Structure 1
Amino acid sequence: MLHPLKITSTLADETRFSIYQYMLQEKDSFSVQNIADQFQIHPNVARLHLTKLNEIDVITSEYEKTGKGGRPGRKYKAVTNGIALTFPQRNYEELLSWVLEIIIELGEDANTIGKKICYKKGVEQIQSILSKRQRDKALISFDERVEIITEASSLIGYVPVILDKPEGKTIRFAVYNCPFHSQIEKHASLVCDLHESFLKGQFEYLFDVQEFAQIDSMIESCKYCTYRIDI
């Protein structure tokens, strides 16, 4: 197992961390030259950053034939499961798996309670942000509400986009960094239900939501989980 200090020191470099975030969001394979062009750095520097990220297992690398003859090129891709750090070592991933299995064993009533709790946690996160800003929800503008939901969304990797329509406003966003990705394969339906309840808690506390709908889902082989919220 990698030492936590090796992981944190590797990701402490601002450019390297930005490269990792970019690769995680795009969910694609990249060559050294792709990264060099995107971040306007020398290919040798890009190669160093990618090698360091590969060493801590947050990205993978493999050789890919170009179809033009010659040596195959190396391509890099972000690992979707990510990494977890705790001091001292704690196995929260296994604990989460146990909790999900308990909910499944207890049946629909436990699922309903779980969704209520996750909804409440979504509300509480927004309340915490409002408290830190020393703002009253009843007095803030629509634009500030968008700022707050954007701040909350940055923690799990989605950026809301506001669309103006004749019938009202629509918020669209795509989750590209699912915080529970490691559990999707085994408990897909339950994990998505709980996470969606958390997101609903956030949005319904801040906005007068008319409809909250999922458009795309990672469990259906989509690149992102995409949502539409009519307000």
Structure 2
Amino acid sequence: MTAVQVASALNLHHNTVREHLDALVDAGFVTVSTKPTGKRGRPALRYASTAPDPQQMVDAYLLLLDAIADTLGEGEEARATALEIGRRWAELTPGTVAEPTVDGEQVDRVTALIPYLAVMGFAPEVSGDTVVLRSCPLITRNHRPRDLVCTMHEGFLRAVVGPDPAAYERLKFLPNGPDGCQIGSTQPIHEEPDLKVVHADVA
């Protein structure tokens, strides 16, 4: 874009815009070039962001996840490895793995997941005693994640909930409905629950 085009889009004077563009060029956030027009006079300077296209970055990471899932293969061993990847992911993420529960302390494990679901791009919303996932960052018009990618998220969420099976509530991941996938809870149990993560079917 030229400075005039940027000024028009922002409804600012082109001299003001040019000063800011020059500052962005000096900082390395914007590149400047010229494109011959075949007309007389010096061609206008054209500015472009140095940042990569966000969608291209997302597509590249989605392909990486697919490659990991395909390499893991199928069956129980592949699922166990995917769960371990998710758990390790949580361990490497600062402040995510739950601390041991203090005796007698009531912990709302479902609510504890909300910040992490939000950061992961699921747009969680609390509805009563459940969390509704309004979107899935891994679903696009041309792409759906492999099942094992969902299993990696499952491992992440298990680690966030906590390592002690006797200390946390059983989490239920309900199939996608008209309002999106839901996460609810039942009574605490004394063995690790078989969690099922189902992403919201939203492009």
- TM-score w.r.t. the length of structure 1 is 0.41
Q: Whose helix fraction is larger, Structure 1's or Structure 2's?
A: 1
Larger Rg: 2
Normalized against structure 2, the TM-score is what? 0.46
